[in-house]
């Protein structure tokens, strides 16, 4: 399974553009290997929106908050409700479970665009594209040196400039369009699955993390042990088994059905075992006589 090793948030703003990540890079490794990480922020410090930014890689345009009310496009609006047309970049680096070890960079660039002039409807949409770059831990490009931000001028690379860069280096990068990323059976998710990164797992993570307090919503509707087993454990295990085995999408369910059938038929099976043992006892003298006869024939024919 792939492990998340680094996070980069460039020009990602929130709270009416009054707060944001100018060019933040978070290293989740210890001695070069991915490790557990803990982010501690004050109340209102941007924990939720930070999670929402990170989840854009796996679930583009995903909403956040208890009732999924927070749209990612709202991070481009100032405190007066006016859209600002700048570019945000989000990049994740993964250590793949391969021999030899490989690294994978997954990124998204996004920017608001005017989609219509009908004042009765929201006239600002979101344009984005995604990209991947895989290397053997000695690649020329790293999450740190991707040309997303100029430290001298303090300016962020525009989405058009980055797209031109990706196109110019298409031997190294794979670009995925906005429409491709909206298809769960599209090339983008197929590629990630082939590297051990699964959209279904991130959907579960979103359910757990989208609201303050964590896992409350995840366990809603599971008020007793049976409900937890039926609604939480079995579906989660089924999803993970499907991630690794595509031959039978319901193989966990079938496994439980098979075990249930065996349990149901257990008295019959035990009775058959008893009959089998009784039969063996009855024919044991015959088996011994047949064995003696076979040895006699072997000695005679020598």
Strand partners, 93: 6, 105
Dihedral (C-alpha) 171, 97, 140, 176: value to the nearest 10 degrees?
40
Residue 88 CA: distances (Å) to CA of 32, 229, 299:
28, 41, 90
pLDDT score at 118: 58
pLDDT score at 154: 95
How big is the chain, counted in residues?
A: 302
Report which DSSP code applies to 229: I
pLDDT score at 225: 66
pLDDT score at 39: 82
Dihedral over Cα of 108, 109, 112, 115: its sign = negative
Dihedral (C-alpha) 144, 148, 152, 153: value to the nearest 10 degrees?
-160
- 6-59 pLDDT, tens digit each: 999 999 999 999 999 999 999 999 988 898 888 887 777 888 899 999 999 999
Does CATH place domain 3-197 in 1.10.287?
no
pLDDT score at 124: 86
pLDDT score at 257: 67
Tokens 């993970």, located at residue = 240
pLDDT-flagged residues of the chain (< 70): 116-122, 210-266, 302
Domain residue limits, the chain: 3-197
pLDDT score at 107: 98
Dihedral over Cα of 61, 65, 70, 73: its sign = negative
């Amino acid at each position: 399974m792939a492990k998340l090793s680094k996070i980069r948030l460039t020009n990602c703003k929130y709270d009416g553009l009054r707060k944001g990540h100018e060019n933040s890079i978070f290293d989740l490794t210890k001695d070069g290997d991915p490790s557990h990480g803990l982010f501690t922020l004050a109340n209102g410090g941007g924990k939720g929106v930070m999670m929402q930014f990170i989840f854009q890689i796996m679930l583009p345009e995903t909403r956040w908050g208890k009732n999924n009310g927070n749209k990612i496009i709202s991070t481009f609006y100032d405190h007066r409700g006016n859209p600002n047309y700048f570019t945000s970049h989000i990049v994740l680096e993964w250590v793949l479970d391969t021999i030899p070890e490989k690294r994978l960079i997954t990124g998204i660039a996004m920017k608001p665009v005017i989609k219509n002039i009908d004042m009765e409807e929201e006239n600002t949409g979101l344009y984005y594209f995604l990209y991947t770059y895989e290397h053997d831990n000695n690649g020329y490009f790293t999450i740190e040196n991707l040309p997303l931000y100029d430290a001298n001028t303090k300016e962020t690379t525009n989405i058009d400039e980055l797209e031109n860069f990706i196109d110019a280096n298409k031997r190294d990068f794979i670009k995925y369009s906005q429409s491709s990323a909206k298809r769960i059976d599209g090339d983008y998710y197929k590629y990630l699955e082939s590297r051990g990164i699964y959209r279904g797992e991130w959907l579960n993570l979103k359910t757990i993390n989208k609201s303050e307090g964590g896992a409350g919503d995840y366990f809603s509707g599971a008020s007793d042990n049976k409900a937890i087993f039926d609604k939480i454990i079995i579906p989660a295990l089924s999803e993970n088994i499907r991630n690794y085995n595509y031959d039978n999408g319901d193989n966990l369910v079938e496994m439980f059905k098979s075990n249930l059938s065996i349990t149901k038929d257990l008295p019959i099976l035990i009775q058959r075992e008893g009959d089998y043992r009784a039969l063996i006892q009855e024919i044991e003298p015959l088996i011994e006589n047949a064995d003696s006869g076979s040895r006699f024939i072997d000695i005679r024919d020598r």
